[in-house]
Amino acid sequence: MCIRAAEIEDSITIAEILADGFHSNMGLYNWLYPVVRLGIYEDVKNRLISPTYRYICLVATNTNSLGGEYLLGTVEIAVKSPLFWEAEPHKPYVYISNLAVDRDYRRQGIAKKLLEVCEAKACQWGFREIYLHVLDNNQEARQLYLNLGYRLKQAESSWSWLWFKQPNRLLLCKSLSACSATDNSMSFS
């Protein structure tokens, strides 16, 4: 497996992995699914065409017997400024989003590896903490983050929970105590 920065040509496959990872295509949602996937594709492509400072989209890839490359999973990492309504964190922070692994390749340590590279990148940028959100009903992801040392910083309930029974978002944080000030250990493969 290799982990590298995503290129614009990866946008379609990244959108497929994200749409499948985060959206249902069952029953009534089936007709909406292509629209959702197209929206994700446009968002990903735009982020890759004009990346902001300290933003990176990573992909995990493998090669087949003919030497062709295929994507296994993806994640994004960026430095964010706190929004005024956010209780935590109070200063610029490194934030992980859109972590998803193709369902055919799950439970092979791909998400773990992608997160490790994100953590190394955060260290390289000079940060000592890393943040992400997970829905409280996403048991697989919560287990993954718990095992890797992410801890609950804040539970965020919203009005939509009351009206639409949407799950709460949990803000998790990991202290990157292992990284030194001059950490250059990010390995992409």
Ligand X SMILES: CC(C)(COP(=O)(O)OP(=O)(O)OC[C@H]1O[C@@H](n2cnc3c(N)ncnc32)[C@H](O)[C@@H]1OP(=O)(O)O)[C@@H](O)C(=O)NCCC(=O)NCCS
Binding site for ligand X (CB under 6 A): 21-22, 99-101, 106-112, 134, 138, 140-141, 143-144, 147
CB 77 within 8 A of CB 95: yes
CA 171/CA 188 separation, integer angstroms: 27
Report the residue number, 88 or 126, with the smaller CB distance to ligand X: 88
Report the residue number, 112 or 151, with the smaller CB distance to ligand X: 112
Q: How far is the CB of 26 from ligand X (least distance, A)?
A: 15
Q: How far is the CB of 95 from ligand X (least distance, A)?
A: 12
Report the residue number, 126 or 158, with the smaller CB distance to ligand X: 158
For 51-188, where are the E strands, in sequence order?
55-63, 69-80, 93-101, 129-135, 151-156, 169-175
Taking alpha carbons only, the member of 168, 167, 172 closest to residue 154 is 172
Q: How far is the CB of 56 from ligand X (least distance, A)?
A: 17
Report the residue number, 143 or 160, with the smaller CB distance to ligand X: 143
Q: How far is the CB of 150 from ligand X (least distance, A)?
A: 10
Q: How far is the CB of 182 from ligand X (least distance, A)?
A: 28
CA 139/CA 145 separation, integer angstroms: 10
Report the residue number, 82 or 109, with the smaller CB distance to ligand X: 109
Q: How far is the CB of 180 from ligand X (least distance, A)?
A: 25
Report the residue number, 115 or 123, with the smaller CB distance to ligand X: 115
CA 12/CA 15 separation, integer angstroms: 5
Examine residue 89 and say whether the peptide bond preceding it is cis (omega within 30 degrees of 0). yes
CA 16/CA 37 separation, integer angstroms: 6
Chain centroid to CA 119:
12
